[in-house]
């Protein structure tokens, strides 16, 4: 596919944003291709997805500034909606999504990584929301997800100052879970994805839904969401397999995704 490559390795899918001449910046074509690539992920077979960028310099250097520069208010709103719809889709995708941030994650790139369930990065990664320096606000979810991830104060500081941060600071503020030398990033992402893929897929999906949906509501409503999704697991084969294996002291477990 044009700007996005998709590769399946066993039960792990890898989406690579491939527009290196523009540091993988998100123009409309990249957004469309990413959306289409998600359509192609068979979530019955694939149990965890990795999103990364082509090359060793940039994950995604933001939304495409050249494309945005002449937009009208209405066109900018539509462009924002296009990015937001895609990132909301990633956030609620049926299987966990890991951002393997292999370099610049600026503006829309930082926002893309934040729509993923988990972020890990290479030691040359740079995160930031530079938009106010361009005369705009973050437009693909940055004003919403950054505060949820790193807290209101740090999010406001990053967005108002438009200052980029390096991998070690991203780790310190909890924006990423781990930092690796560049060559070790994809092996680490795959290892994590394979670890997820070994667990019961319906349980993982229900856990993702419970965390995401519960985060938006009161703790009481969140508990009710959890109870229902917890209960649903007890109608699955994989619950019987997982608990049966424990009780029978059996190491081998075969989760069939039903
Ligand atoms: N949009 C369009 N093109 C971009 C781009 C972007 N966000 N980022 C990089 N490019 C292009 C450059 O224009 C350049 O193209 P040419 O070779 O044709 O001139 C090419 O990628 C390489 O970039 P640089 O020469 O600038 O590379 P560098 O190593 O000197 O700098 C960088 C790297 C610091 C990441 C720099 O490219 C940069 O600052 N990019 C812009 C980052 C940014 O501001 N991102 C936020 C965009 S706004 C946004 O994302 C809004 C939103 O929330 C929806």
Domain range annotation of the chain: 4-197, 201-247
In short, whether 53's Cβ falls inside 6 Å of ligand 1 is no
pLDDT in tens, 15-51: 999 999 999 999 999 999 999 999 999 999 999 999 9
Q: Which parts of the chain sit beneath pLDDT 50?
A: none
SS3 category, 129: coil
Name the CATH code of domain 4-197 (choices 3.30.43.10, 3.90.226.10, 3.60.10.10, 3.40.50.970): 3.90.226.10
201-247 CATH fold: Lyase 2-enoyl-coa Hydratase; Chain  A, domain 2 (1.10.12)
How far is the CA of 258 from the CAs of 3, 8, 12, 203, 255, in angstroms?
34, 21, 18, 10, 8
For ligand 1, the distance from its centroid to the CA atom of residue 73, given in whole angstroms, is 22
pLDDT given for residue 1 in this prediction: 62
What does the alpha-carbon distance between residue 176 and residue 149 come to, in Å, rounded to a whole number?
9
CA of 96 to the centre of ligand 1 (A): 29
N- to C-terminal Cα separation, the chain = 31
Considering only CA atoms, give the Rg of the chain.
Answer: 19
Task: Indicate whether this model's pTM tops 0.95.
Answer: yes
Residue 105 CB less than 6 A away from ligand 1: no
Instruction: Point out the residues that are catalytic.
Output: 111, 131
Q: State how far the alpha carbon of 65 is from the alpha carbons of 153, 161, 165, in Å.
A: 27, 19, 20
Could you tell me if 12 and 194 are in contact, meaning their C-beta atoms sit under 8 angstroms apart? Answer: yes
pLDDT of residue 82: 98
- The full length of the chain comes to 258
Which single residue is written with the structure tokens 């997800």? 145
Atom of ligand 1 nearest to the CA of 79: 54
């Amino acid at each position: 596919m044009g700007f996005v490559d998709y590769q399946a390795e066993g039960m792990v899918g890898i989406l690579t944003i491939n527009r290196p001449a523009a540091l993988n910046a998100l123009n409309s074509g990249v957004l469309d291709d990413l959306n289409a690539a998600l359509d192609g992920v068979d979530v019955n077979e694939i149990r965890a997805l990795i999103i990364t960028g082509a090359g060793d310099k940039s994950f995604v250097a933001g939304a495409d500034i050249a494309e945005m520069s002449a937009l009208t208010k209405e066109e900018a709103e539509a462009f924002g909606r296009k990015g937001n719809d895609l990132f909301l889709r990633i956030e609620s995708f049926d299987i966990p999504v890991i951002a393997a941030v292999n370099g610049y994650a600026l503006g829309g790139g930082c926002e893309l990584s934040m729509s993923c369930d988990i972020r890990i990065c290479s030691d040359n990664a740079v995160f930031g929301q530079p938009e106010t320096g361009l005369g705009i606000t973050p437009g693909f979810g940055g004003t919403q997800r950054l505060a949820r991830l790193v807290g209101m104060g740090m999010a406001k500081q990053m967005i108002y100052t438009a200052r980029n941060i390096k991998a070690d600071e991203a780790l310190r503020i909890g924006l990423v879970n781990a930092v690796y030398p560049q060559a070790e990033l994809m092996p680490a992402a795959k290892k994590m994805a394979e670890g997820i893929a070994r667990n019961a897929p319906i349980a993982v999906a229900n856990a993702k839904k419970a965390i995401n949906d519960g985060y938006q509501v009161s703790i009481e409503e969140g508990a009710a969401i959890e109870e229902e999704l917890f209960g649903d697991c007890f109608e699955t084969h994989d619950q019987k397999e997982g608990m049966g294996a424990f009780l029978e002291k059996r190491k081998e477990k075969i989760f069939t995704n039903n």
